[in-house]
């Protein structure tokens, strides 16, 4: 019989996960920046990309690769600095992009590109791997099949994260038109967010 978390453990996990998800982190800031700049649809596409990246971490956690990454200084540093460099690159590119003087109607954002960026941002986020390694085991019964419990808890987290991040995307999207009238402010703000996320990822420490 497949081992799944009992209802009490699952409820406690869901409650704790919602509390954590409501606190804006790197993924939320990334989603908000994209949604504010390109609109709600782009924000929701970014949410989908981010949580596909989360599924990659979930798969890794299920087979134990997250433990390897965190236990190995070389592997952890490689993931950490690759993610940091990518985020800083996105931020610098945004800061250096010149806006037209006249206010033109916004073009549709390249949704496929935003989706891929979301995946890469979260796959290369070592904090997500640390979350699955440090947080999930607290709700796993070691006397039963571990990997199925991790899988169920992880999928629960992904669903809750998709909902909460989707709400952030929709909220930020309502401000998109107002922010587009202040393109320079938005450009510097979103670029600074990406650079800040990159520096935050670079400073992430091993547990």
φ, ψ (nearest 5 deg) of residue 24: -60, 125
- Please give the full DSSP string across 72-125, using - where no structure is assigned: -HHHHHHHHHHHHHHHHHHHHHHHHPPPPSS-PPPPPP-HHHHHHHHHHHHHT-
Residue 121 has pLDDT above 80, yes or no: yes
Render pLDDT for 170-189 as a digit per residue (tens, 0 to 9). Answer: 988 777 666 555 556 666 76
pLDDT, one tens digit per residue, over 129-181 is: 767 776 777 787 877 787 888 889 999 999 999 999 999 899 887 776 665 55
- Domain edges within the chain: 25-101+108-202
Confidence of residue 124 (pLDDT cuts 50, 70, 90): confident
Architecture in CATH of 25-101+108-202: Up-down Bundle (1.20)
**Average pLDDT taken over every residue of the chain:** 77
Most confident of 26-30, 35-39, 104-108: 35-39
pLDDT of residue 103: 37
Residue 52 has pLDDT above 80, yes or no: yes
Q: Does 50 have pLDDT greater than 90?
A: yes
Q: What is the pLDDT of residues 55-69, one digit of tens each?
A: 998 998 888 766 666
| Residue-level pLDDT at 108 | 56
Choice between 34 and 75, residue whose per-residue pLDDT is larger? 34
Residue pair 158/18 in contact by the 8 Å Cβ criterion: no
Residue where the block lists tokens 């019964």: 141
Residue 102 has pLDDT above 60, yes or no: no
């Amino acid at each position: 019989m497949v081992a799944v978390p009992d209802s009490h453990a699952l409820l406690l996990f869901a409650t704790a996960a919602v509390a954590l998800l409501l606190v804006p982190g790197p993924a939320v800031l990334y989603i908000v920046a994209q949604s504010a700049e390109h609109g709600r649809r782009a924000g929701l596409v970014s949410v989908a990309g981010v949580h596909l990246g989360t599924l990659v971490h979930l798969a890794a956690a299920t087979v134990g690769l997250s433990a390897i990454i965190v236990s190995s200084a070389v592997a952890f540093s490689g993931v950490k600095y690759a993610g940091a460099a990518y985020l800083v690159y996105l931020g610098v590119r945004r800061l250096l992009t010149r806006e037209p003087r006249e206010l033109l109607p916004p073009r549709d954002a390249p949704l496929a590109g935003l989706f891929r960026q979301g995946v890469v941002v979260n796959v290369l986020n070592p904090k997500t791997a640390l979350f699955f390694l440090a947080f999930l085991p607290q709700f796993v019964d070691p006397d039963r099949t571990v990997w199925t419990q991790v899988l169920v808890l992880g999928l629960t987290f992904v669903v809750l994260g998709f909902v909460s991040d989707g709400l952030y995307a929709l909220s930020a999207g309502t401000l998109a038109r107002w922010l587009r009238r202040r393109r320079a402010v938005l450009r510097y703000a979103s670029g600074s967010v990406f650079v800040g996320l990159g520096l935050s990822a670079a400073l992430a420490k091993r547990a």
